Structure 1
Amino acid sequence: MQGLHLTADLHHCSCASAWLLDAPLLGVACRDAVQAAGLQAVGELFHAFPATAHGPGGVTATILLAESHLCVHTWPEQRAVTLDVYVCNFGADHSAKAQALLDGLVALFMPGHTEQHSVQRGSLR
């Protein structure tokens, strides 16, 4: 149960629009980032939402990790993204891998402004 939960809210992303709109393309980037960070994917789901009156539909990309999960949500009409990386540290400390995964995805989206948070979960008593 012990682990590290990282979140990032990315604003004013200057990346190519495809990263915000194309579910299969974003899926490949997420898989690559997971592998580069040294984490193990065990499942995945990439979903594109339809356009609305507010603009083009965004994407949700989720990768289940042996260590826990990665979730990415895009809002192309706002050029915004939220990232959620959680790793369990029960058998080994995966904190550096979680940070590497988050950092790699932040770089992909090229935000003008980022809000990041880190929470240690499941402390021992």
Structure 2
Amino acid sequence: MQFTPGTHVLLDLYAAQFLDDLDVVRRALLTAAHVVNATVLEHKFHVFDEGGGITGIVLLKESHISIHTWPETSFAAVDIFLCGGLSPDPAITVIEAAFQASHSEISKIRRGRNDQ
């Protein structure tokens, strides 16, 4: 297997909507995986007590997309880690649109540089 570095995105969503709606959360992450042409291996989501938010992960052949939501503060933290030369940008667009956040903060980190 050839080593291909990846990009790890930390996406913080503020004043976001639908953070306690399992169908929206699941569809957003699976659609995000689809639009970047990632291979979904499995997915798991957990809904906390009434209004307590959702945590979920989509395990990819190319790494993962995960989310933790806090509906009580309208905040969500999303990780998108893709390797194999896939760009996370289309996934970011899908997730931002799904949750209709008033604004977001994006940090991109290049992982596994080959120059060492």
1:121 to partner: Cα distance: 0.7
4+ long deviations beyond 2 Å: 22-25
RMSD: 1.5
Match of 1:41 in 2: 40
Alignment of 1:68-83 (within 5 A): 68-83=63-78
Is the 2:24–2:98 contact (alpha carbons within 8 Å) kept by the matching residues of 1?
no
Aligned 8 A contact 2:64 2:82 in 1: yes
User: Structure 1 residue 6: deviation in Å?
Assistant: 0.5
Q: CA deviation at 1:24?
A: 4.0
Cα distance in 2 for residues equivalent to 1:105 and 1:25: 10
After TM superposition, the score normalised by the length of structure 1 is 0.81
Instruction: Give the aligned length.
Output: 112
TM-score (normalizing by structure 2): 0.87
SS at 2:89 equivalent: helix
Aligned partners of 1:36, 1:4: CA distance in 2, in Å? Answer: 16
Are the aligned partners of 1:6 and 1:99 in contact in 2 as well (CA < 8 Å)?
no
Corresponding residue for residue 6 of structure 2 = 3
Percent identical: 29
Unaligned runs of 5+ in 1: none
More helix by share: 1
Letter aligned with residue 107 of structure 2: H
